[in-house]
A and B are shown apart, each in its own frame.
Chain A
Amino acid sequence: AQKVTQAQTEISVVEKEDVTLDCVYETRDTTYYLFWYKQPPSGELVFLIRRNSFDEQNEISGRYSWNFQKSTSSFNFTITASQVVDSAVYFCALSEALYNFNKFYFGSGTKLNVKP
């Protein structure tokens, strides 16, 4: 079973539209961490945000916001007023401690196309 599911394979929007990228995770641990990364066409994964399982406060950073809901095991990412530079593949990831190892589980990614 997938630990992290990003059901949206690809999304296309027009510039200035808002867009939400979905992420659903599965874990039995009470302590875990959730991440979002951005992968632009150049290839490098860029860290965007880290959230621990005890902090369900939503987070906003500029045009980016994240909605963490333990009740639905979701950690969704919203871009407000999207821009062409937001075009990238976005990965959601779950981190658990597995036999003293910081194990990461990545979703399959959502490709976001922002058209001018």
Chain B
Amino acid sequence: DGGITQSPKYLFRKEGQNVTLSCEQNLNHDAMYWYRQDPGQGLRLIYYSQIVNDFQKGDIAEGYSVSREKKESFPLTVTSAQKNPTAFYLCASSIEGGTSGNTIYFGEGSWLTVV
């Protein structure tokens, strides 16, 4: 089935550790996104990529890093510099990201908890 796969679903991080969240899509979409969701709040954009080997910071990029070496993959690393990383992380994609109105489709999300 076509879709967006995120792993792991649940992840626990110790203070000072970096962790990487995986995101893979088989929709042949050019654009991919990472969003963060905190309880009772909307989604905030962390990073986005409109094409392979290119990515841009979103609204809350500090403490995060990404790579886009393959069209289908867009992993997110939560670094130790991110002071409050406990949240729900959603990966998404759209057919292209340069014009308004392209529907964004989401993965099932990953819960990250700092212990």
Contact = CB atoms under 8 A, between A and B. Distances in A.
Task: Report whether chain A binds chain B.
Answer: yes
B42 A107 contact: yes
Interface in A49-83: 50, 52
Interface in B20-34: 31
Given A42-B108, A101-B98, A102-B31, A35 B103 contact: yes
Given A35-B103, A43-B88, A43-B109, A102 B98 contact: yes
B84 interface: no
B41 A108 contact: yes
- Main DSSP-derived SS at the A contact region: strand
Contacts of A9: 40
Interface string B69-95: 000000000000000000010101010
A50 B100 CA distance: 11
Contacts of B108: 42-44
Nearest to B43: A106
Interface in B28-65: 31, 40-43, 45, 48, 50, 56
Contacts of A104: 43, 45, 104
B100 A95 contact: yes
Nearest to B3: A44
B17 interface: no
Contacts of A107: 42
B109 A102 contact: no
B97 A101 contact: yes
24 contacts: A29-B100, A35-B104, A42-B108, A43-B88, A43-B90, A43-B109, A44-B106, A45-B90, A47-B103, A91-B42, A95-B102, A97-B98, A97-B99, A97-B100, A100-B98, A101-B48, A101-B56, A101-B97, A102-B98, A104-B43, A104-B104, A106-B42, A106-B43, A108-B41
Interface of B: 31, 40-43, 45, 48, 50, 56, 88, 90, 92, 94, 96-109, 111
